[in-house]
């Protein structure tokens, strides 16, 4: 039975999505079924959303009084990819995990709001910096997911310092590289202290003639393809920022997602590969006794080492894949 697609969602690229195509990216990340993550806390810095109170495992942190965005904002989509929660989400890689969500949405009173039309899903980069410090220091999360770049960071050195401080506290920041197709990741993904997540396409998941199929064909024509034995075939996602700052890759095109209305759509961007990496790493660390017993200054280093051990070589040029795709049990070596 076909599920309806949200015709108002501009990212939708397939006229209909079959049930067997719903969670293909679960298999790509080596997740056979969502499971509970008991010992790891994930921080998410993104745009706020309505309905966050319906997720029992989510703690919402906001520094301004603006009404959060709609139910299906960018921040909501990131959370949906991480956890199923308890309110009917159908997509999350983890069935339950403690999430501390920091709302960094740009509001009208911000010094960065000039020329911006509201409502907006832009982030206030000053709040991003504050969120990194708050989540790693006051809250003490293990991982921070940042599915956005700070292209206009007014004080990039302050951003860098916040991330270095988070690392010393034992918190690893995982950030999307960006979607401009440049050969350099955006800030903060390209910083050495950050895990930069780029995108990858999975071959033969989309109907013929769709946008995903077209992107696959273009990659094949340029010989930008690869495979992982027992997992599948892959192609370079041309819109993903690559080379400098790229550490790992994850699905970023044709990613299926169930919206709050029950509609099923598909989305594109390194924003969405980022929480997949955060999720599988969180689950791996949840079972890693060395990590759980490590001192603060060694935890981030251990997390990075564990992530490296999870990665599978796709066969791309290193500039297009970094260490490869991190996969859970049964997939990674």
Residue carrying structure tokens 């919402």: 60
Report how far residue 10's alpha carbon sits from residue 12's, in angstroms, rounded to the nearest whole number: 5
Chain segment 192-243, per-residue pLDDT in tens: 999 999 999 999 988 888 899 999 999 999 999 999 998 999 999 999 998 8
Chain segment 75-120, per-residue pLDDT in tens: 999 999 999 764 445 678 998 899 999 999 887 666 566 566 656 6
Cβ pair 72, 262 in contact under 8 A:
no
Q: Does CATH place domain 19-326 in 3.60.60.10? A: no
Q: How far is CA 120 from CA 70, 117, 142, 220, in A?
A: 11, 7, 29, 37
Strand partners of residue 60 = 101
pTM of the model as a whole: 0.91
- Helix, strand or coil, per DSSP, at residue 200: strand
How do the pLDDT tens digits run along the chain, 333 residues long? Answer: 233 344 444 344 455 555 556 678 998 999 988 889 999 999 999 998 877 777 888 999 987 766 666 778 899 999 999 997 644 456 789 988 999 999 998 876 665 665 666 566 788 898 999 999 999 999 999 999 999 988 765 578 999 999 999 999 999 999 999 999 877 899 999 999 999 999 999 999 888 888 999 999 999 999 999 999 989 999 999 999 988 899 999 999 999 887 777 777 889 999 999 999 999 999 999 999 999 999 998 999 999 999 999 999 999 999 999 999 999 975 444
Cβ pair 202, 232 in contact under 8 A:
yes
């Amino acid at each position: 039975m076909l599920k309806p697609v949200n015709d108002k969602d501009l990212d939708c690229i397939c006229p209909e999505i079959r049930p067997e195509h719903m969670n293909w990216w679960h298999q790509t990340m080596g997740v056979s079924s969502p499971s509970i993550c008991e010992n790891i806390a994930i921080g998410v810095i993104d745009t706020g959303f309505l309905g966050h109170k319906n997720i029992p495992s989510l703690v919402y942190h906001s520094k301004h009084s603006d009404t959060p965005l709609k139910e299906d904002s960018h921040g909501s989509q990131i959370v949906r990819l991480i956890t199923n929660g308890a309110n009917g989400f159908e997509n999350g890689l983890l069935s339950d995990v403690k999430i501390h969500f920091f709302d960094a949405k740009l509001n009208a009173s911000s010094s960065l709001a000039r020329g911006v039309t509201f409502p907006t899903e832009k982030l206030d980069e000053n709040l991003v910096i504050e969120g990194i410090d708050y989540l790693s220091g006051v809250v003490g999360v293990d991982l921070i997911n940042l599915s956005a770049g700070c292209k206009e960071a007014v004080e990039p050195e302050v951003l860098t310092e916040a991330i270095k401080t988070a690392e010393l506290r034992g918190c690893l920041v995982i950030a999307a590289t960006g979607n401009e197709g440049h050969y350099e990741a955006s800030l903060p993904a390209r910083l050495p202290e950050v895990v930069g997540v780029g995108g990858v396409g999975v071959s033969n998941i989309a109907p013929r003639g769709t946008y995903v199929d077209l992107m696959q064909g273009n990659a094949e024509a340029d010989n930008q393809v690869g495979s992982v034995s027992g997992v599948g075939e892959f192609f370079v996602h041309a819109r993903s920022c690559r080379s400098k700052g790229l550490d790992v890759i994850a699905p970023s095109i044709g990613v299926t997602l169930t919206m709050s209305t029950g509609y099923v759509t598909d989305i594109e961007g390194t924003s969405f590969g980022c929480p997949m990496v955060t999720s599988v790493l969180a689950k791996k660390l949840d079972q890693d006794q060395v990590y759980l017993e490590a001192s603060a200054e060694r935890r981030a280093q251990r997390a990075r080492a564990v992530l490296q051990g999870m990665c599978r070589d796709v066969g791309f040029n290193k500039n297009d894949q970094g260490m490869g795709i991190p996969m859970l049990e049964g997939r990674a070596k």
